[in-house]
Amino acid sequence: MEPLLFELSHTDKSATSLPRLFGNLSRENLTIPELSEPEVVRHFTRLSQMNFSIDGNFYPLGSCTMKYNPRRNEAAAALPKWSQAHPFQSIQTLQGCLEVLYHLEQYLCFLTGFKGFTFQPMAGAHGEFMGLMLIKRYHESRGESVRNKVIVPDASHGTNPATAAALGWSIITIPTGKTGGVDVEALKKVVGADTAALMLTNPNTLGVFDENILEVTDIVHAAGGQCYYDGANANATVGRCRPADLGFDVAHLNLHKTFSTPHGGGGPGAGPVGVKEHLMPFLPAGRVQKSADGFVLSESTHQGLGRVHPAYGNAGVLLRAYAYSRSLGGPGFRRVSERAVLNANYLRKKLESVFVVPFNRVCQHEFVISLQRERKQFGVRALDVAKRLIDYGIHPPTIYFPLIVSECLMIEPTETESKRTLDHFVDTMLQIRNEMETAPELLHDAPHQTPVGRLDEAKAVKEPVLCACG
């Protein structure tokens, strides 16, 4: 049978709006090919195969928790009664959806120790922004608007100081202590009557769980500040310890890391924000509540923040998190974090005799190695190793972050990877170490096996070439 041809030329009325969109394009000079359906399918399949993905390759991208996402969560998120519900439907016709959100909030409260969550923020950074706005409103409500300084460790994720700056607050950076946690003495020196908040990831971006965390949060509270927990690394702790018990007042969770949802490529995400009792009055309206008449949405209060997102938040991500929570249960979450920590420590122990591991102690879900020594010895940089790993079918770890470790590789294997995969990664790293001595040019020019080789990434961003049409 003749394959169906796609008629891609613009013969419809919408063509009249094209010049406005694309400048001087007319029907005559458009050269859109006519293609059969199999050709189109093959084209896009080929393109997708050129891409790196967690489904195709090991992806130990530190700070990103590139975990396997169970297919059942995808199936749940695609259910028409969820995916086709309209946000402006009357809530009487959305009772099942609201029930899911109600229970998801309860699960998150159970896992974190917080009193309530808002689902509005659509990413971790968005959650940070809302969390700091809640803290701001709290200080204002107590007549303490003078509090405008946010303390962040030098190992913090860039979104932390950036969020504080977006709110017009100033940032005080404190150093990392000898064992990889907050330098407590430095913290004591900077807290004061102008402290608005401390923002902290724990475990931090070095993969270190701060053993002084209770003292750290006490110091900030004693000065009248609030403690913000950046929950992006919660895959290491979920089911084992709760940020509220560590002294944090407010937190976001990256559902798109810890609670499944494919992460990467810029979205989609969800960064729900949880708070303790004293911050509850400031949460925005629209939280699901149970009433005698079924599930209803909370009203706005005079103290509450406005919305940062229309409707219910990023609903597909929320349903995946619900399905994930239901399938794991409390003990399942605990197993996830234990396994994530075990896998990271397995890699750390296997690599420590060959590579320098700064802050080399039991790590949590990730750890960093420094290639500063190799740079001096062989002229090989972290970037070169990252690119060479691609040739071996492994996605590069995060590089040059955190900023306090030079020539840094940040490795996060996640909980779902098998010992076989981890061993393959170790063997590959050892092989690459060998190449540094015997054939460093292999690393300088890597990758060799990809459709395009080493890119000048800065130039590509500044002067993108978006088509091959000359």
Binding site for ligand PLP (CB under 6 A): 63-64, 123-125, 157, 159, 201, 205, 230, 232-233, 254, 269, 271
Identity of the residue numbered 304: G
Measured torsion, CA atoms of residues 44, 46, 47, 52, in degrees rounded to the nearest 10: 130
Cβ 329 to ligand PLP shortest distance, Å: 25
Cβ 157 to ligand PLP shortest distance, Å: 3
Cβ 268 to ligand PLP shortest distance, Å: 10
Closest to ligand PLP by CB, 225 vs 271, is: 271
Tokens, residue 53? 């993905």
By the 8 A CB rule, do 69 and 55 touch?
no
Closest to ligand PLP by CB, 123 vs 382, is: 123
Closest to ligand PLP by CB, 123 vs 275, is: 123
- Pick the closest to residue 135 from 231, 251, 233, 222 (CA basis): 251
Closest to ligand PLP by CB, 201 vs 226, is: 201
By the 8 A CB rule, do 368 and 62 touch?
yes
Cβ 131 to ligand PLP shortest distance, Å: 11
Question: Which ranges of 352-418 does DSSP label H, i.e. alpha helix?
Answer: 372-378, 382-391
- Pick the closest to residue 333 from 260, 247, 397, 435 (CA basis): 260
Cβ 364 to ligand PLP shortest distance, Å: 12
Cβ 230 to ligand PLP shortest distance, Å: 5
CB half-sphere exposure, 247, CA atoms < 13 A: 22
- Pick the closest to residue 66 from 238, 261, 204, 346 (CA basis): 261
Cβ 256 to ligand PLP shortest distance, Å: 6
What's the rounded Cα separation, in Å, for the pair 104 and 418?
29
Q: Is residue 418 left, alpha or beta, with left meaning phi > 0 and alpha meaning psi from -120 to 50? A: beta
Closest to ligand PLP by CB, 205 vs 237, is: 205
Closest to ligand PLP by CB, 52 vs 102, is: 52
By the 8 A CB rule, do 284 and 307 touch?
yes
Closest to ligand PLP by CB, 236 vs 432, is: 236
Angle at 409 between CA 123 and CA 364, to 5 degrees: 65
Tokens, residue 178? 């000898």
Cβ 398 to ligand PLP shortest distance, Å: 9
| Residue whose CB is nearest to ligand PLP in the complex, by number | 124
- Give the largest Cα separation in the chain, rounded: 79
Cβ 39 to ligand PLP shortest distance, Å: 37
Cβ 321 to ligand PLP shortest distance, Å: 14
Question: Which ranges of 293-381 does DSSP label H, i.e. alpha helix?
Answer: 315-351, 372-378
By the 8 A CB rule, do 254 and 269 touch?
yes
Closest to ligand PLP by CB, 73 vs 201, is: 201
Q: Is 146 exposed, middle or buried (0-12, 13-18, 19+ CB in 10 A)?
A: exposed
Beta strands 288-291 and 294-297, pairing class: antiparallel
Estimate to the nearest angstrom the gap between the alpha carbon of 463 and the chain centroid: 28
Closest to ligand PLP by CB, 271 vs 272, is: 271
Closest to ligand PLP by CB, 173 vs 428, is: 173
